[in-house]
Amino acid sequence: MDKEKIIALLNQDLEDEHGAIIQYLNHAYGMGEGEMACEIEAIARDEMRHLDWLAETIVALGGTPSLKRGTMRLGGKLVTDWMKNDVQLEEGAIAQYKEHISLIDDTKIKRLLGRILSDEEAHHDDFAHFVDKAEREGVKDIRGSRQDKTAQMLNWGVEHEYTVILQYLLHSYLAPNEEAKEQLQDQAVNEMQHLGWLAEELVGSGGRPEIEHTEVDQSTKPRDMLQADIKIEKEVAQAYDKAAQETDDPGLKKLLRRIRDNELYHVEVFTDLLQDIEGGK
């Protein structure tokens, strides 16, 4: 099988890992705090690791990682329904990885897909267990319908964080050197923390996180990538600062200012990287 066909198959797997991450985070946040929610977030982190491995392999083959979301099953009113959807999503992933392993003749890539497959089989069993556990323990959807200015602001934050997570990960995969790659991935991880904080704050105050993203900068030249990253960080730092000034909730004010300060740190990190590139380092 030629490289282009392998890249297409791996991007299909990557897109489905992306979809699984969002599905599982929606379910974990919807339950609020608790053992099961923590376990599902851990599974989402496994899927993030898979996405990273697949993206790195795609780039090594000369391809570009896809930013599309693959299969998702977000229906169902009860948590038991959610867990059944997660079981079905894993069944689809298991079947697809087995198919791709049979089609691809590259030994190292087959080995990688087999490694991911073993995780998906474990996740399938976990979610099958969660179906019964959710019913037995009476786990419920605790999200509310709050739609006031604060809820809208928090959902704006979730949207922004999701967007820059994708942007910084893509830029890290295409980065010109190891320092840039490491720094971009570190800041993407920090943005994942922000998304979690904002989503949990929203659920805790009676809202419903909407994990959607806006347009992602897909520049491929290092200078263009970093300039785009600096621009969006400066803009969002100002937006978080404004939101912090407008809220009367001391806890929320503290959270927004913490995120603002993180974003300003990102500006400095990305500026240093840009200066190194422009200086020929």
Which residues, other chains included, contact 29 with Cβ-Cβ below 8 Å and sequence gap of 6+? Answer: 37, 143, 196, 199, 200, 203, 209
Buried-exposed string 57-76: b where 16+ CB fall within 10 A, e elsewhere: bbbeeebebbbebbbbbeee
Asked if the domains 3-137 and 149-278 are classified in one and the same CATH topology, the answer is yes
What residue type is assigned to position 56 of the chain?
E
pLDDT at 277 over 90: no
All structural domains of the chain with their residue ranges: 3-137, 149-278
Number of residues written out for the chain: 281
Residue 45 is given by DSSP the state H
Q: Does domain 149-278 have CATH number 1.20.1260.10?
A: yes
For 40-61, the pLDDT digits (tens) are: 999 999 999 999 999 999 999 9
The two most distant CA atoms of the chain are separated, in Å, by 62
For 176-197, the pLDDT digits (tens) are: 889 999 999 999 999 999 999 9
For 126-164, the pLDDT digits (tens) are: 999 999 999 999 999 999 999 999 999 999 999 999 999
87: helix, strand or coil: helix
The token duo for 13 is 């797997």
Cα separation, 11 vs 55, whole angstroms: 8
Contacts 24+ apart (CB under 8 A), 193-199: 194/157, 194/161, 194/259, 194/262, 195/158, 195/161, 195/162, 195/165, 196/29, 196/41, 197/255, 197/259, 198/154, 198/157, 198/158, 198/161, 198/255, 198/259, 199/25, 199/29, 199/158
Whether the model clears a pTM of 0.85, i.e. scores above it, the answer is: yes
Q: What is the mean pLDDT of residues 225-238?
A: 97
pLDDT at 280 over 70: no
Q: Does domain 3-137 have CATH number 1.20.1260.10?
A: yes
Residue 208 is given by DSSP the state -
The residue behind tokens 């190891």 is 178
